[in-house]
Structure 1
């Protein structure tokens, strides 16, 4: 497989994870697995929450795919998809856990897109109810529903 096709499979792994993340979050986390996922919507005082088990599952999928393709990394669809999933997981951890929820090693950012993602995610967390609110994805949501808070610039 050439480098362009390899890169496309990495992008497919990344984009596919956002779609899977939305569907799993919407229909399983706020459905069948709510008792586990609600630990993410409640206040907690420990370093970890039961909901972290889902991140470990997806990390395992990524590691498994990378391992299956490790014999011929550039020639392997498994390796490329696993890499895309890993990149998604790393960005998810940075944006969701560190930035939006300020877990582990929190940080701030002046990035408008980062603030927009955090604002949309905060909307999702307005309730601790199983029914929840959109958005269920992290990156794909109607950005126009979460406009910038504009300061009025009144003249003195």
Structure 2
């Protein structure tokens, strides 16, 4: 597999996760699996919350895809997609958990994009109802609508 195609598969895994995350968050987490996801919308959090099970599930999908293509990684679309999902998961953890929610090892950033993402996510958390409020994705939302 050509290196550009390999990188394309990684980008597809990353971008696909944002789309899947939006849809799953909007229609499943705030629907059928609200009893689990509600722990993330409650005002007090412990070190871990029931909602963290979802991250473990997506990490498992990533590990499975990477493992299934590990024998010839540069020729494996599943390996590349798994890497894209893993990169998404790492950025999600850094931006969402550490920066937006200040869990584990919170940090500050003067990055305008990071602050917009945090503000948009805080808008989503204004409602603790099952119905929720936009944005449901982490990266894809109208940035100009959420200026601080």
Give the alignment's TM-score, normalised by structure 2.
0.98
Partner of 1:79: 79
Distance 2:36 2:104 in 1: 20
- CA-to-aligned-CA distance 1:23-79 (integer Å, 9 cap, x gap): 000000000000000000002342000000000000000000000000100000000
5 Å matches for 1:30-49?
30-49=30-49
5 Å matches for 1:44-123?
44-123=44-123
Q: Which consecutive unaligned segments of at least 5 residues does structure 1 have?
A: 149-156
Distance 2:9 2:84 in 1: 7
**Range moving further from structure 2, 41-50 or 89-98:** 41-50
Distance 2:128 2:23 in 1: 19
Which contiguous aligned blocks of 4+ residues in structure 1 show a shift greater than 3 angstroms? none
The two structures, once aligned, show a CA RMSD in angstroms of 0.6
Equivalent residues, number: 148
Which protein has the larger Cα radius of gyration, Structure 1 or Structure 2? 1
Q: Which consecutive unaligned segments of at least 5 residues does structure 2 have?
A: none
Higher share of residues assigned helix: 2
- CA-to-aligned-CA distance 1:97-124 (integer Å, 9 cap, x gap): 0000000000000000000000000000
Partner of 1:154: none
Give the alignment's TM-score, normalised by structure 1.
0.94
Distance 1:96 1:141 in 2: 15
